[in-house]
Amino acid sequence: MSPLDLLVAAPLAFMVASLVVGRGGRWLILAASPAMLALSAWLVALPPDAAHLVGDWELPLGILLRADGVARLLVPATSLCFVAVGLYAWHEFSPKSGRETARAHTFWPLLYLMWGGSNAGYLTTDLFNLYVTIEMVSLAAVAMAAMGSLAAGLQYFLIALVGSLAYLLGVALLAAHYDTVDATLLAIHARPDLPTLLAITVMTAGLLVKTALFPLHGWLPPAHAAAPAPASALLSAVVVKLGFVIILRLWFEAFAEVVRPAAMHLLGGMGALAILYGSIQAIRQERLKSLVAYSTVAQLGYLFLAFPLISNAPNPAEPWAAVLVHAVAHMLAKAAMFLAAGLMLKAVAGERISDLAGLARAMPLSVTAFALAAISLTGLPPSGGFTAKFLLLHAAIEQGSVVYAAVLVIGGLLGAVYLFRPLSVACSGSAAPVVKAEAPLRVAAPLALAALAVALGFAGMMLIELSSLSAPPAAAGPLPAEPGR
């Protein structure tokens, strides 16, 4: 057995186990957490080109699991999110009565399904296999979203279905055209002909819908804001990253030779608009969880803004690392922020930002977790978010792309505007509101995640080294013309 197999198999085994034990399902997280963290650590420590064929079938028939840079960064980060969310939810979804019991039964199998699915998604190179993982994650995500609002869940379901079908269509096209759907093999054989371009287009479009890149983001804020806090945390932190990683793999690994610079700028432009639009919407929100959800729309923009920066860079390793670090930092910080928001809103039994008045005194630990997460999301130093945005800004200035540099700076400032608002409200008032005392163990989950997001700022060299294990994207030839130059 290799850790690559186990990272996929273990969560699925826990899913089955949680279905079997029913009411006591929440206890399994105490076993799953150390096991999965140990497996993630093992993954990071594997030799540089570690890969594993499932069942020892050779390509193109078999399935290749691979420990590349993307997997080594994102699998541990997702596992940390799942562990923290699981420990937080251990309390929230304990069997009590009525509806709570139903949630306590359903939440845990969904959590493990999503966990296994996203791990498989980061490790595999087979595009059809990726389809299966997307479906696993989407299924769990839709069900979790439906826990908060049935309407939002249904809308999400339809969108996810359309996205999956589009992706599957592309996979079918490729299979018919190349007789393989393995990304490593496609990288060798891909030609820029019509079926290939069509396949890339529909696959990317389907994935963009699922990743909620502006202007395809409409379903995200209602679904993420309505779900219970642990579910919101997973939806915003983990689920949307999978679609992004697959696009990243398609564009820079499988079809690096086929994709045109103009297409890179199209994605980059959408990312830039997402940053501006998401930030402005976040500023306008009155409810805390909507604000955090719109912040996800904005932060996802950075992931795509990086595409043209990577493809144009004389030294692509840095923006490549930046985009992965951003994905990791956003995962940790966003999960922390949703969990902290959940604690605070539950304590004051409200949902508006104005309900937080004075909480800095009553719930200092939760507010600290929120603040640390905000530092990383805004991109203030020292934090993983800062490292990522710093490298992106550096790349943008190096390439002379004024527009992207300006969006990066403005996005950071807008981020400060919307994230300091709840903090400012929390610091207001001279009398502390009376709330139930913070349970140190529950607040530990968001606090640890947020502290990690900040601590990433000190580990820049290690992150860059890990990310360089992925097939570094091909260096661009002469710089193409770009907007704003």
Residue 433 as a binder of other proteins (CB under 8 A): the answer is no
Residue 352 as a binder of other proteins (CB under 8 A): the answer is no
What string marks each residue from 285 to 304 as x (binds other proteins by CB under 8 A) or -? --------------------
Residue 102 as a binder of other proteins (CB under 8 A): the answer is no
Exposure pattern of 284-308 as b/e (b: 16+ CB <10 Å)? ebebbbbbbbbbbbbbbbbbbbbbb
List own/partner pairs for 473-476 with CB under 8 A and 24 or more apart. Answer: 473/252, 473/253, 473/256, 473/310, 473/311, 473/316, 473/320, 474/252, 474/256, 474/257, 474/316, 475/313, 475/314, 475/315, 475/316, 476/261, 476/311, 476/312, 476/313, 476/314, 476/316
Mutual angle of helices 28-45 and 3-21, in 10-degree steps: 170
Residue 429 as a binder of other proteins (CB under 8 A): the answer is yes
**Full DSSP string of 397-447:** HHTT-HHHHHHHHHHHHHHHHHHHHHHHHHT--SS----PPP-HHHHHHHH
Minimum CB separation of residue 381 from other proteins in Å reads 5
* Footprint on residues 211-250 left by other proteins (CB under 8 A): none
Check: CB of residue 412 under 8 Å from CB of residue 379: yes
- Copy the structure tokens of residue 39: 């497996």
> Of the ranges 7-15, 43-51, 266-274, 426-434, which one interacts with other proteins (CB under 8 A)?
426-434
Residue 354 as a binder of other proteins (CB under 8 A): the answer is no
> Of the ranges 44-52, 110-118, 247-255, 380-388, which one interacts with other proteins (CB under 8 A)?
380-388
* Footprint on residues 440-459 left by other proteins (CB under 8 A): 458
The burial of 410, by beta-carbon neighbours within 10 Å (0-12 exposed, 13-18 middle, 19 or more buried), is given as middle
The residue among 158 and 475 lying less far from other proteins, judged by its C-beta, is: 475
The burial of 484, by beta-carbon neighbours within 10 Å (0-12 exposed, 13-18 middle, 19 or more buried), is given as exposed
Minimum CB separation of residue 184 from other proteins in Å reads 28
Residue 147 as a binder of other proteins (CB under 8 A): the answer is no
The residue among 158 and 413 lying less far from other proteins, judged by its C-beta, is: 413
Name the β-bridge partners of 51: 66
Minimum CB separation of residue 122 from other proteins in Å reads 24
Among 21, 354, 424, 436, binds other proteins (CB under 8 A): 424
Residue 375 as a binder of other proteins (CB under 8 A): the answer is yes
| Distance (Å, whole) CA 135 – CA 341 | 29
Minimum CB separation of residue 463 from other proteins in Å reads 9
Residue 69 as a binder of other proteins (CB under 8 A): the answer is no
Check: CB of residue 302 under 8 Å from CB of residue 326: yes
Minimum CB separation of residue 321 from other proteins in Å reads 9
| Distance (Å, whole) CA 338 – CA 396 | 31
Residue 28 as a binder of other proteins (CB under 8 A): the answer is no
Among 398, 444, 448, 476, binds other proteins (CB under 8 A): 398
> Of the ranges 125-133, 207-215, 242-250, 390-398, which one interacts with other proteins (CB under 8 A)?
390-398
Residue 394 as a binder of other proteins (CB under 8 A): the answer is yes
| Distance (Å, whole) CA 170 – CA 197 | 10
Among 218, 364, 433, 472, binds other proteins (CB under 8 A): 364
Binding site for other proteins (CB under 8 A): 318, 358, 360-361, 364, 375, 380-382, 387, 390-391, 393-394, 397-398, 405, 409, 412-413, 416, 420, 424, 427-430, 432, 458, 460-461, 464
